[in-house]
Amino acid sequence: MHPWLVPDGPQRRFVVSAFVYLVTTGAFLACAAEATLSAHTPWNHFALLAEAWLDGRLDLGAAPPAYAGMNDFARFDGRWYVPFPPFPALLVLPWVGLAGSAEATADGRFFLLLAGIAPAVLFLALEKLRRLGRSTRSERDNVLLALLFAFGTVYFFTAEQGTVWYAAHVVAAALAALYLLFALDAERPVFAGLALGLGFATRTPLLFALPLFVSELWRTSVPDDVCVFDAPAEAWRKLDRARFVRGLLLFSAPIALVVLLTFLHNQARFGDPFEVGYRYLEVAWRGRIEKWGLFSYHYLGRNLAVVLTSLPWLGDPQAPVRVSAHGLALWVTTPAYLYVLWPKVRRAPHLALAVTAVAVALPTLFYQNSGWVQFGYRFSNDYAVFLIALIAIGGRRFGALFWSLAAFAVVVNTFGALTFNRAAGAGVYVIERTQRMIHQPD
């Protein structure tokens, strides 16, 4: 048999992963709006930041372009800045350099070409779980789970946008998948740390994914006959401390470097290493931020309502189905996530993955913004790969119910991908500017 076709061989995994990338990227491109493929997006903040760097400056040098509508730019000391974490701007910088300017760069097309990376790497991570004996899923199951992530979660509509908020999710999901791959068995501490550090420089909540690697490092630093969770005292006594400390140092070094660079970037722009610029946003709800802060218990109730209870609006004579701009609940867009709640087995790294997903999710639940404007809860992109991994190792049989839920999710998210921010979605999305209305009024 040709080595590229040998079951469970590294060449075969590479071929199948490349297949997942090509299929998903091809589908994303085929579903994309023509304007996204041929011209810059209306909110091309990362391309604008890259252009500013190429011009040798940290601010934009002038007011934001009129086509961006002053949407999510920070004004400080008379200058205008892009406040978002900067790693996606670094990625698009060569394209901006070749095109000559941000306005000549089809930034949406660039991020569409990156969108297939996350599902492709997720497949590799799921296969690694199978090789390690943590998952009983077949190669076919793992391909389908990767495709479920791509087309059966809010990642689908996210990948189609190309604009600043959604582009960050595309890059962050790829980095989260890489982190998952490298963190399993604590096999690649430097690469795991680099993926997590760059994740922080893309979507800040990803820094809270630390528990997965630390747990895996601890588990692999004690003898196989000791369960770190059933006998923590014995595990501590028998811990290979030299291996554990070395792994932590190798893991922490790239994270510390990336965090330091972002702090220096903040200091150079705003005179404060911890100031990213969100306090200086020129947005309608700036007063809310000044009163309650960027993160507060005050926002928790609203955000939980979006995640858990935001349903489609039915019965409107103008449209059979309408969607609040806060987005649909997580279990509506991806009901297969319910399998996370009832695993059949809880073998490692089940607890570590669960704690990691919760840790990444918590900051955005206390954030001043629900993800507005969106088809579904887009912040779930930050931890979706961990949820898919939990489904994979949960041990529940993938029968008719699971695949029916998966098919439903693909239909729902295809609708979102083809209607959100499109002419086809006219009248579907309810944008109430105060952001106070989540559920359909009486």
Q: Mind listing the pLDDT tens digit for each residue in 275-294?
A: 999 889 877 777 888 889 98
Which amino acid appears at position 442 of this protein? D
Mean of the pLDDT values across residues 210-235?
Answer: 83
Residue that wins the pLDDT comparison between 59 and 442: 59
Question: How confident is the model at residue 237, as a pLDDT?
Answer: 81
Are the beta carbons of 106 and 40 closer than 8 angstroms?
yes
Question: Domain total for the chain?
Answer: 1
If you write DSSP's letter for every residue of 376-399 in order, what string do you get? B-GGGGGTHHHHHHHHHHS-----
Neighbour count for residue 93 (Cβ, 10 Å): 19
> By residue range, what is the domain housing residue 273?
3-430
Is pLDDT of 419 > 90?
yes
Question: How confident is the model at residue 159, as a pLDDT?
Answer: 98
In a domain, 440, yes or no: no
Report the b/e string of 278-312 with b at 16+ CB within 10 A.
Answer: bbbbebeeeebbeeeebeeeebeebbeebbeebee
In percent, the amount of the chain with pLDDT more than 70 equals 98
Are the beta carbons of 172 and 197 closer than 8 angstroms?
no
Which helix (H) or strand (E) segment holds residue 24: the answer is helix 10-31
Q: Tokens at residue 108, please?
A: 């949406």
Q: Tokens at residue 78, please?
A: 């008379």
Neighbouring residues of 174: CB distance < 8 A, sequence distance ≥ 6:
114, 117, 118, 121
Are the beta carbons of 387 and 337 closer than 8 angstroms?
yes
In a domain, 144, yes or no: yes
Question: How confident is the model at residue 1, as a pLDDT?
Answer: 57
In a domain, 437, yes or no: no
In a domain, 441, yes or no: no
Is pLDDT of 42 > 80?
yes
In a domain, 395, yes or no: yes
Question: How confident is the model at residue 7, as a pLDDT?
Answer: 75
Question: How confident is the model at residue 433, as a pLDDT?
Answer: 81
Question: How confident is the model at residue 3, as a pLDDT?
Answer: 67
Question: How confident is the model at residue 260, as a pLDDT?
Answer: 97
Which helix (H) or strand (E) segment holds residue 75: the answer is strand 74-76
Question: How confident is the model at residue 223, as a pLDDT?
Answer: 80
In a domain, 435, yes or no: no
What tens digit of pLDDT does each residue of 208-219 get?
A: 999 999 999 999
Q: Which of 332, 396, 304 is nearest to 153 (CA)?
A: 332
Are the beta carbons of 357 and 390 closer than 8 angstroms?
yes
Are the beta carbons of 401 and 350 closer than 8 angstroms?
no
CA 59, CA 45: separation in Å to the nearest integer?
A: 12
Which band of pLDDT confidence, cut at 50, 70 and 90, is reported for residue 347?
confident
Q: Tokens at residue 353, please?
A: 């993955």
In a domain, 359, yes or no: yes
Which band of pLDDT confidence, cut at 50, 70 and 90, is reported for residue 225?
low
Report the b/e string of 383-407 with b at 16+ CB within 10 A.
Answer: bbbbbbbbbbbbeeebeeebeebbe
